[in-house]
Structure formats: C-alpha cells, structure tokens
C-alpha cells in the first residue's frame, strides 16, 4: 500500500542533500545501489515512485506475464539463483528475486518509496541538481536516472476512447478487480504483452476481439519446468549454473550476426517462424491475417507456444481493420462494423523515444531533455551521459536496448562505467563532468553507420525502435561483449571537467 504524503508535510520538510541520487529501482537502479554500497559509497539515496523495488516487474502484473529471456541469464551475475522454477521465469518469480536481492544486500534503507520525481534542474551556480518530488525537495552532486524505457504506458489516440463506459485499462496497469469472466473483451495491440495476455484470458471470457495493426513474428518458446534434480545440481555442483548461463549467453549472442551485420541470415529464423505459423493455424484466411509483411527481427521477435492456437478458438476474432472510434459500449472499425464490448484492454506499449520524463529534466542551458532530443534526436554517449547535462548519468539510456538477449548484461556494463566515473570524480577532485558534444556526435555517427545495414533499418517495418527523425536510437548494434569492453572504464578524456572549489584553491596557492 502506498504511503500518503500530505501537501503540508511536503511543504514543511527541509531540502535534503545526498552526494548521489538514483531515480528508479528496477534492475538498473537497484544494481547501482548495491555497487555503491559495496564500494563504501553510502552517501546516496534512491527515489522510487512505486511502493517497492522491481520496476517493470513490479508494475506489469497482467495474466500470463513472463520473461522472454531464459531465467539463468536474466539475473545479476553476482547473485545467481539456482532455484528458478522453470527455464523462462514468470513475473511473480522475477519480482520475488528482485525483492530478495534488495534485502540481502541491505540497500532498502537507502530507498525512499512512493516518491515520484516531478523535476530535476541543474543549478550552474551551485553545481548541484535540484530535485522536486512528491516527498519534498532534494539536492545532489550527481544524479543517475535509472528510469527504464518500458515504464510510461502509451495510450492510443482513438476518437471516443475516453467516453467508453466499461472497464478500460492498460496492460501495464492491470485492474485485478475487473472480472472478465464471460465478458465481451477487446484488446488493442499484438506486441509482447498482448501475446501473453490473449492465451491467458481467452478461455474464461465470452468473446475476445484482438485488434491487430501489425502482425508479429513468433518463434517457439522453449519453456519447461526445472526438475528437482536439476535445481539441486544448480545449487550444489560447482560452476554448473555459470556454465549454463554462459551457454545461453553464447547461443543468444549468435543472433547479432543476422540482426546487425548480415540481415540475410535472418531468413533461417524466418523459415522456422513460417513453419510454426503453418503448423499452428490451419485456417488459410486467419493465417493470412497474422502473417507479417516484413523481415523477422525488424520488430521485436516474440516467443509463444499458445498464441496462434488461441487465435483459432471459436470465441476469438482477429480484427485487422483500423479502429475508427470507440463508443460507450462498442468499437467501430473503419469498414463500419460495430462490435459491442464490456471491457477494453490497451496493450499499445510504452513511450520509449518520447518519454514524458524527458520534460522533467532541465540541463545546463535551461533546455529540457525533450527539447534537446527534439533538436538532435535521442542521442547519448555510451548510453550513459548526454551533453548539456553535467553530473548526470543514465542507465538504459539511448542505444542500450537489445532485441535478442538479457538487458541485465547491459545494465551491469553501465553500472561498471558509472561506478568508475564516480570514483574518478572523487579521485581527481572534480566538481563537474559533462560529455563533450564532439565526442557524443562522433559516437552516434558510428552507431548510425553500424545500424544502417541492420535488419532494424532494412527489414521493411516501422517500429518503436525509431525516433521521429527516423533513427534507431534504442538498440545496440553490435555484440554485447563489445559494449562491456567500451564501458569497462570511465574515459574522462571524453568529458569537459571542472575542479572543485577546494582543488581550485589548492592550485591557486
């Protein structure tokens, strides 16, 4: 249950200062908090708008929610879990893992939960970040944004949707009080969340209309429960779990060749996906509806064993005509067909390249992050820093995303970089660090050159990977171990720096 904070309490609370403030406590923010604690850096605070750690795994509690990365790879490298119940973990088990890690490493007392950050503004004169939140004001020498890309639900701009009188909610804000049993339900979207929700609710609803704009490519989900013997072996056989993790990592990493370097190789996976489609959907008309018209990998590749069979159920209908409007108890498509519904589920993804959080961060020259991105596109340096925003680091920043393997690997790489940056600042007595614009420009020019030949650009689709300038500012276009190599150490030479007042005085003397 969220803690209530009165306006009076917030007004009367004095401004609090921390050397480092981390915003968000999913895998990224929690991982950095643990690293700072291990390094003896205890003057930090984590501001988390939710009532617990977990981020997207705390928020996405829809039926069927599960990870599409194998369990042994989707965990911290420093805290392996031999007790995963199955090869692909479900939401509840991942959330329990994150909660246990936060308790084990003793960082929960560094968290302020139910604390929604409403603005962060750089003060040039005092060289600190000034933060406003639902729990008062803060200042920090350094701010680390650990706000994930999949945290701000994107709602469709459909005529009349606000006037719908039945149950309506986004997949990431699932209403568990809504009883869908026997109801006429519509779901808008056929992305990663929808393909898990549809099989989970179809057996109990009266009718389910799946509104599809773009058909996704599906691959088999090689999921199974682990036996008791396997879990015992992972727990007691030295090195076995790390060997399993390494094998999964290596197998996943081979996909980079097709995704980012030689897109023609994706035809192999496409043949697998087509065979799956033919085998699981016998009706030619339905099969034609759900056959993608772009190369596999251009959009996020999805895995499921029960989505296609569910679409063939008699109480499920795939609707490919665009939605014209939503009425108080129905949806009308552009061909004039009206379908009555009792509940509407919106599974239309998230604000990734246009996050509302960008409006709340104001940099050195008075421009917000969204204003900077509006001019140059969503660009950063090593996904970790952005010119015009001194003493600010980003976990899961631009071009850090993946389409094939575990984001936890990338998160830990960035944690290495940020932790070394903070150590460098202390060691050199620096007051400010800000990435040089020329270094950022050169870095992004190289990224876009690599991306230009990838399946994400040449595969014939439009996707949330692209920003409004048409650039892929979301994904990393190379092997993940190359990103790990580049972020191993903080390269202070790529930054404009200033000395602290104490060090300036010492130099003057």
Q: How confident is the model at residue 6 (pLDDT cuts 50, 70, 90)?
A: very low
CA distance 148 to 56: 8
What global pTM score does this model have? 0.93
CA distance 161 to 377: 31
- For residue 394, the tally of other CB atoms under 10 A from its CB is 25
Radius of gyration (Cα) for the chain, nearest Å? 24
169 and 77 within one domain: no
* Mean pLDDT within 96-113: 97
- Say whether pLDDT at 1 is over 60: no
Q: What is the pLDDT at residue 5?
A: 38
Q: Which domain holds residue 26?
A: 7-152+352-508
Tell me the pLDDT of the chain averaged across its residues: 93
Q: Residues 122, 56, 76, CA angle at the centre, nearest 5°?
A: 90
Q: What is the pLDDT at residue 2?
A: 35
20, part of any domain: yes
Which tokens in the block code for residue 104?
């084990």
- Say whether pLDDT at 19 is over 90: yes
**Tell me: the pLDDT tens digits for 22-46?**
999 999 999 999 999 999 999 999 9
Residue 329, class by beta-carbon neighbours within 10 Å (0-12 exposed, 13-18 middle, 19+ buried)?
middle
Among 2-6, 258-262, 344-348, the range scoring the smallest mean pLDDT is: 2-6
421 and 342 within one domain: no
The residues that bridge with 122 in the sheet, in sequence order, are 129
> Of 289, 324, 346, which marks where a domain is finished?
346
Closest CA to 204 of 224, 185, 190, 230: 185
- Say whether pLDDT at 11 is over 80: no
CA distance 107 to 79: 15
Q: What is the pLDDT at residue 501?
A: 57
199 and 338 within one domain: yes
Specify the CATH number for the domain of residue 130: 3.50.50.60
Please list, in sequence order, all residues whose beta carbon lies within 8 angstroms of the beta carbon of residue 120, skipping any fewer than 6 positions away: 23, 129, 130, 131, 132, 143, 360, 361, 362, 392
369 and 306 within one domain: no
Among 403-407, 428-432, 445-449, 500-504, the range scoring the smallest mean pLDDT is: 500-504
Q: What is the pLDDT at residue 465?
A: 84
169 and 285 within one domain: yes
CA distance 395 to 410: 9
243, part of any domain: no
> Of 346, 381, 397, which marks where a domain is finished?
346
**Tell me: the pLDDT tens digits for 276-317?**
999 999 999 999 999 999 999 999 999 999 999 999 999 999
* Enclosing H/E stretch for 267: helix 266-280
- Long-range CB pairs of 413-417 (<8 Å, 24+ gap) are 413/480, 413/483, 413/484, 413/487, 414/28, 414/382, 414/383, 414/384, 414/487, 415/28, 415/31, 415/32, 415/35, 416/484, 416/487, 416/488, 417/382, 417/384, 417/487, 417/488, 417/489, 417/490
DSSP letter (8 states) at residue 257: I
472 and 404 within one domain: yes
> Of 346, 364, 395, which marks where a domain is finished?
346
Three-state DSSP at 288 gives helix
373, part of any domain: yes
253, part of any domain: no
466, part of any domain: yes
460 and 416 within one domain: yes
399 and 335 within one domain: no
Closest CA to 444 of 398, 490, 493: 398
Report the Cα–Cα distance between both ends of the chain, in Å, rounded. Answer: 56
430 and 309 within one domain: no
Closest CA to 24 of 155, 151, 193, 172: 151
* Mean pLDDT within 331-348: 96
285 and 390 within one domain: no
Q: How confident is the model at residue 212 (pLDDT cuts 50, 70, 90)?
A: very high
233, part of any domain: no
260, part of any domain: no
The residues that bridge with 404 in the sheet, in sequence order, are none
208, part of any domain: yes
356 and 337 within one domain: no
- CA distances in angstroms from 431 to 40, 126, 180, 497, listed in the order given: 20, 10, 56, 7
357 and 336 within one domain: no
Q: How confident is the model at residue 151 (pLDDT cuts 50, 70, 90)?
A: low
Q: What is the pLDDT at residue 94?
A: 98
- Structural domains in the chain (count): 2
């Amino acid at each position: 249950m969220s803690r209530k904070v009165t306006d009076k309490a917030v007004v009367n609370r004095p401004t609090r200062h921390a050397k480092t403030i981390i915003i968000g406590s999913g895998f990224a923010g929690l991982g950095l908090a643990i690293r700072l604690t291990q390094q003896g850096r205890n003057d930090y605070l984590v501001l988390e708008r939710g009532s617990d750690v977990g981020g997207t795994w705390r928020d996405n509690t829809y039926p069927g929610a599960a990870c599409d990365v194998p369990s042994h790879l989707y965990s911290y490298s420093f805290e392996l879990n031999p007790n995963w119940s199955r090869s692909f973990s479900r939401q509840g088990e991942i959330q329990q893992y994150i909660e246990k890690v936060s308790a084990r490493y003793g960082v929960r007392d560094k968290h302020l939960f139910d604390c929604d950050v409403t603005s962060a503004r750089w003060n040039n004169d005092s060289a600190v970040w000034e933060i406003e939140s639902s729990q008062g004001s803060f200042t920090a020498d350094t701010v680390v944004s650990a706000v994930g890309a999949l945290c701000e639900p994107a709602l469709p701009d459909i005529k009349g949707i606000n006037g719908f009188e039945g149950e309506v909610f986004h997949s990431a804000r699932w209403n568990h009080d809504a009883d869908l049993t026997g109801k006429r339900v519509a779901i808008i979207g056929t992305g990663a969340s929808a393909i898990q929700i549809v099989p989970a609710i179809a057996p109990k609803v009266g009718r389910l209309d799946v509104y599809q704009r773009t058909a996704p490519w599906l691959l088999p989900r090689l999921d199974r429960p682990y036996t008791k013997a396997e879990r015992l072996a992972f727990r007691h056989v030295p090195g076995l779990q790390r060997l399993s993790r390494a094998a999964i990592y290596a197998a996943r990493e081979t996909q980079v060749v097709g995704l980012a370097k030689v897109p023609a190789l994706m035809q192999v996976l496409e043949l697998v996906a087509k065979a799956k489609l033919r085998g699981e959907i016998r009706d030619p008309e339905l099969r034609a509806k759900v056959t993608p018209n772009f190369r596999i990998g251009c959009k996020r590749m999805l895995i499921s064993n029960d989505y296609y069979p569910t679409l063939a159920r008699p109480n499920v209908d795939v609707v490919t005509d665009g939605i014209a409007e939503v009425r108080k108890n129905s949806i009308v498509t552009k061909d004039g067909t009206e379908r009555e519904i009792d509940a509407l589920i919106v599974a239309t993804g998230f604000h990734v390249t246009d996050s509302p959080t960008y409006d709340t961060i104001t940099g050195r020259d008075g421009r917000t992050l969204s204003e900077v991105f509006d001019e140059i596109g969503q660009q950063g340096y090593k996904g970790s820093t952005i010119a015009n925003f001194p003493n600010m680091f980003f976990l899961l920043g631009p071009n850090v995303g993946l389409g094939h393997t575990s984001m936890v690997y990338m998160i830990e790489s960035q944690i290495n970089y940020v932790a070394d940056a903070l150590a460098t600042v202390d060691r050199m007595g620096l007051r400010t660090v800000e990435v040089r614009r020329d270094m950022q420009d050169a870095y992004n020019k190289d990224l876009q050159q690599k991306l230009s030949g990838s399946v994400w650009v040449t595969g014939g689709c439009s996707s949330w990977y692209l920003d409004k300038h048409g650039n892929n500012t979301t994904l990393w276009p190379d092997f993940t171990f190359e990103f790990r190599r580049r972020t191993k150490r903080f390269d202070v030479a790529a930054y404009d720096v200033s000395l602290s007042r104490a060090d300036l005085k010492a130099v003057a003397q």
